[in-house]
Amino acid sequence: MPRETVFEHSIDHVEVLAPDGSVDSELDPELSEDDLLEMYWTMKRSRRLDERAIALQRRGELGTYAPATGQEAAQVGSAHALADEDWMVTSFRESPAYLARETPPHMLLWYAMGMEEGAATPRESRNMPPSIPVGSQALHGAGLGWAQEIADESAASLVYFGDGATSEGDVYEATNLAGVFDAHTVFLCQNNQYAISVPRAQQTRAETLAQKAVAAGIEGVQVDGNDVLGTYAVVRDALESARDGNPVFVEALTYRRSLHTTSDDPSVYRKEEEEDEWETRDPIARFETYLRDRGVLDDDRISDVEASVEDELREEIRLANEGREAVDPEEMFDYVFEAKFPELERQRAAFRGENDGR
Amino acid sequence: MADKQRLVEAVRNTLFEEMQRDEGVVVYGQDVGRNGGVFRATQGLIDEYPNRVYDAPVAEAGIVGLGVGLAAYGFTPVPEIEFSGFMLQAFHQIQQHVARLRSRTRGELNCPMTIRAPYGGGIHALEHHSESFEAGYAHTPGLKVVVPSTPADAKGLLTTAIRDPDPVVFFEPTRLYRAFREEIPDGDHTVPLGEADVVQEGEDVTVVAWGAMRHRALDAAEDVDASVEVIDPRSIVPFDTETVLESIRKTGRCVVVHEAPKTGGMAAEIIARINDRALYYLETPVQRVTGYDVPYPLFAREDEYVPDEDRIRRGIERALSG
Ligand SMILES: Cc1ncc(C[n+]2csc(CCOP(=O)(O)OP(=O)(O)O)c2C)c(N)n1
């Protein structure tokens, strides 16, 4: 019997907004000016939050912080495509996505201050808290998407993770299970080129990460993740498909322009030339050029945005510090179980100094 | 000449020496190559041994599972897990395969793997970076579990662990990586697994503590008006029960200290052994000073969670009273 091909697959790459600021008119999602400005504002807030957070960390006021600088388009573009009833499931680098979903900056700062309060997003927001174990949250995204299928809800879930996460079994299991159960899930892999120090090429021999979808039998697509319009368009379509029970894996090609976290030194593992090259592809700069060309932005409006970002952050940092001063350590006993638990109550009493600690 | 090293340097130097001594030693894990490990415990190793040091993808089950294959083939894998909290991603491989390869094959195959991982809290890390789950590994027959508390012990115990024909989980207390320097004995310094260190002799009460808690226990002992014997077991499995029992037969009182939660922690096991074999020597019930039965808090509350000198001192006083 001859050997014949039984399966073939290809992966599309999408780019709508080119680095020079020009737009592919066929793929243009044709967002309103308000939408465009809102995305721009969120991207600027997010970048400035990163800068402020790194400075606060250096002063000893924050713990480890994972900046998203360079990934604003991938996150804001995708999160902007979410409807209120959609779920968002994040990893640990998603401040732009949270900002896009109206999480106030002081909560993100609280989390970075080591306060559980920062992860307590209200249930109505349909945001999951950050997940630190790499890739583990992909299964939660698939579970939420499966729930939407079972409940016959016309909504979807969007789960964020990095290129490194695709090496974890959980991510493979999540995509595969999502396919099997018609989960309403979009998997958004931000391929920012590094998992701490390990470059993408050492993470997998696969040519694209989008093709990780193939083995799971779901659709995979690659988008220029520094292109906010392209990311928006691709994720909007993916969410539509997911709402009908067809999960999608989106690889957003981007670059982490800053540190992995505040305890990382990228000079050990990457070259300045590479960093400089990606600077020319910066997502905010590209979007700004486009918005200026369209006449939506000019110098004055940009300074207005920047001033409002500064005002907001000043107030939010104040709120964050206020919250930190009010931390009550005894609250660590409060949320372990819903009901009172005798042994834990004994331990709480011991903590308060009310019994002798036995 | 013996030089003074920090715990992380002792680990690094041991890896260099063992790779030089034994060509079968393979070091790999997330960021251990070019980056030299997130705590720099493998710094420079890849330059010296480019074909035996590997950066691995972010896949703990894969890292440990591959090690079973390397070990079965005849290599001595020494994987690093970036933080012990993420060893849970590999726990099924550890519990189902690493720990049982020898018994499953009636000794035909063994798994001389040493899994290194930073352990415990105290460095204001993120969620899941600070837990101490030694009891979970101790509850897995077939594994040895080691926690060094000083640079010299780190060297001696890691050397022994790598040479051990059985799998060893080697937990390095993050808080101690750079805490202080200590002289490391010259030459081939090994410390046997299962031999406790009587850190300080005393007559009135025995305190058993490991990892970062050993040092806190010593500080706390200074503040009580009694002669305190401090024992660092150095390995959790095998555990040097005899040394603890002998001490209790002398002091009649005991406190066990650990960072891990109270329920089901190692202290419970140690107390059970004392009950079995030295109950009638006890003047007062054995005291436990441990973390609480709550998830290890984010760092704004961690100092209140981890036993501090004050809590340990009060534990010692309870043991002394009555
Ligand atoms: C299960 C697990 N293993 C290891 C780590 C340590 N760690 C934190 S981030 C990271 C790299 C993640 O890379 P990637 O998925 O590409 O996301 P990025 O950091 O680039 O956003 C690692 C290994 C972790 N948090 N969780």
The pLDDT value recorded for residue A357 is: 66
Tell me whether residues A332 and B124 touch, CB distance under 8 A.
Answer: no
Say yes or no: B178 contacts chain A, CB-CB below 8 A.
no
Does the pLDDT value for residue B269 go beyond 90? Answer: yes
Rounded to the nearest angstrom, the minimum Cα separation between B38 and chain A is 8
The pLDDT value recorded for residue B250 is: 98
Query: What residues of chain A score a pLDDT lower than 70?
Result: 357-358
Nearest Cβ partner of A332 from B88, B294, B315? B294
The pLDDT value recorded for residue A135 is: 97
- How many beta carbons lie within 10 A of that of residue A339, not counting itself? 4
- How many beta carbons lie within 10 A of that of residue B131, not counting itself? 22
Q: Are A210 and A250 in contact (CB under 8 A)?
A: yes
The pLDDT value recorded for residue B254 is: 98
Q: Which atom of ligand 1 lies closest to the CA of A165?
A: 15
- Interval between CA A320 and ligand 1 midpoint (Å): 26
Q: Are A158 and A184 in contact (CB under 8 A)?
A: no
The pLDDT value recorded for residue B3 is: 83
Report, as residue numbers or ranges, the catalytic residues of A. 256, 260, 269
* Residue B62 near ligand 1, beta carbon < 6 Å: no
The pLDDT value recorded for residue A218 is: 98
Nearest Cβ partner of A332 from B124, B297, B318? B297
List, for residues B223-263, the tens digit of each pLDDT value.
999 999 999 999 999 999 999 999 999 999 999 999 999 99
The pLDDT value recorded for residue A355 is: 80
β-strands A219-224, A12-14 pairing: parallel
Q: Can you tell me the distance from the alpha carbon of B156 to that of B167, in angstroms, rounded to the nearest whole number?
A: 17
Tell me whether residues B304 and A351 touch, CB distance under 8 A.
Answer: yes
Residue B2's pLDDT band (boundaries 50, 70, 90)? low
Rounded to the nearest angstrom, the minimum Cα separation between B278 and chain A is 21
List, for residues B189-199, the tens digit of each pLDDT value.
999 999 999 99
Rounded to the nearest angstrom, the minimum Cα separation between B302 and chain A is 8
The pLDDT value recorded for residue A145 is: 98
**The token pair that represents A32 in the structure block:** 């309103």
* Residue B82 near ligand 1, beta carbon < 6 Å: yes
DSSP code, position A264: -
Say yes or no: A55 contacts chain B, CB-CB below 8 A.
no
Collapsed DSSP state (helix, strand, coil) of residue B252: coil
Instruction: State ipTM.
Output: 0.92
The DSSP line for B37-94 is -TTSTTTTHHHH-TTTEEE--S-HHHHHHHHHHHHHHT-EEEEE-SSGGGGGGGHHHH
Q: Are B287 and B251 in contact (CB under 8 A)?
A: no
| Helix or strand holding residue A199 (H, E) | strand A198-199
* Residue B159 near ligand 1, beta carbon < 6 Å: no
Average pLDDT for B280-296:
98
Say yes or no: A324 contacts chain B, CB-CB below 8 A.
yes
**Residue B263 with chain A: CB contacts under 8 Å:** 343
The DSSP line for A216-242 is HTSEEEEEETT-HHHHHHHHHHHHHHH
Q: Which atom of ligand 1 lies closest to the CA of A192?
A: 20
Tell me whether residues B129 and A132 touch, CB distance under 8 A.
Answer: yes
Residue B322's pLDDT band (boundaries 50, 70, 90)? confident
Say yes or no: A349 contacts chain B, CB-CB below 8 A.
no
Q: Can you tell me the distance from the alpha carbon of A109 to that of A114, in angstroms, rounded to the nearest whole number?
A: 9
The pLDDT value recorded for residue A273 is: 97
The pLDDT value recorded for residue A147 is: 97
- Residue to substitute in A69, A134, A270 for testing ligand 1 pocket (most ligand atoms within 8 angstroms of CB): A134
Nearest Cβ partner of B292 from A64, A327, A351? A351
Tell me whether residues B301 and A336 touch, CB distance under 8 A.
Answer: no
Write down the catalytic residue from B129, B189, B215, B258. B129
* Residue A121 near ligand 1, beta carbon < 6 Å: no
DSSP code, position B230: E
The pLDDT value recorded for residue B37 is: 97
Rounded to the nearest angstrom, the minimum Cα separation between B254 and chain A is 13
For A334, residues 6+ apart whose C-beta sits below 8 A from its C-beta are: none
Q: Can you tell me the distance from the alpha carbon of A254 to that of A68, in angstroms, rounded to the nearest whole number?
A: 11
Q: Which atom of ligand 1 lies closest to the CA of A168?
A: 1
* Residue B91 near ligand 1, beta carbon < 6 Å: no
Say yes or no: A355 contacts chain B, CB-CB below 8 A.
no
**Mean per-residue pLDDT of chain B:** 97
Give B144: exposed, middle or buried? Use CB within 10 Å, 0-12, 13-18, 19+: buried
- How many beta carbons lie within 10 A of that of residue B21, not counting itself? 13
Q: Can you tell me the distance from the alpha carbon of A226 to that of A236, in angstroms, rounded to the nearest whole number?
A: 16
- Residue to substitute in A69, A94, A196 for testing ligand 1 pocket (most ligand atoms within 8 angstroms of CB): A196
Percent of chain B with pLDDT over 90: 98
The pLDDT value recorded for residue A358 is: 66
Work out how many CB contacts closer than 8 A connect A with B.
122
Q: Can you tell me the distance from the alpha carbon of A309 to that of A40, in angstroms, rounded to the nearest whole number?
A: 11
Tell me the CA distances in angstroms from A11 to A211, A243, A254, one per residue in order.
7, 22, 17
Q: Which residue has the tokens 């991938």?
A: A74
* Residue A134 near ligand 1, beta carbon < 6 Å: yes
Cα dihedral value B9, B177, B128, A64, nearest 10? -100
Q: Which residue of B has its CA nearest to A129?
A: B127
The pLDDT value recorded for residue B190 is: 98
Beta strands across the sheet bearing A248-253: A12-14, A219-224, A248-253, A185-191, A157-162, A87-89
**Residue A106 with chain B: CB contacts under 8 Å:** none
Q: At what angle do helices A33-58 and A72-80 cross, to 10 degrees?
A: 130
Q: Which residue has the tokens 């919250």?
A: A323
Does the pLDDT value for residue B1 go beyond 60? Answer: no
- Interval between CA A162 and ligand 1 midpoint (Å): 8
**Residue B125 with chain A: CB contacts under 8 Å:** 63-64
Tell me whether residues B297 and A204 touch, CB distance under 8 A.
Answer: no
β-strands A219-224, A248-253 pairing: parallel
Nearest by Cα to A115 from A351, A261, A324, A263: A324
Nearest by Cα to B195 from B254, B135, B246: B246
Average pLDDT for B213-217:
98
Collapsed DSSP state (helix, strand, coil) of residue B116: strand
Collapsed DSSP state (helix, strand, coil) of residue A71: coil
The pLDDT value recorded for residue A1 is: 76
Q: Can you tell me the distance from the alpha carbon of B276 to that of B315, in angstroms, rounded to the nearest whole number?
A: 22
Tell me whether residues A133 and B85 touch, CB distance under 8 A.
Answer: yes
- CA angle centred on A104, ends A100 and A109, rounded to 5°: 115
Collapsed DSSP state (helix, strand, coil) of residue B144: strand
Collapsed DSSP state (helix, strand, coil) of residue A2: coil
List, for residues B67-94, the tens digit of each pLDDT value.
999 999 999 999 999 999 999 999 999 9
* Residue B86 near ligand 1, beta carbon < 6 Å: yes
Say yes or no: A165 contacts chain B, CB-CB below 8 A.
yes
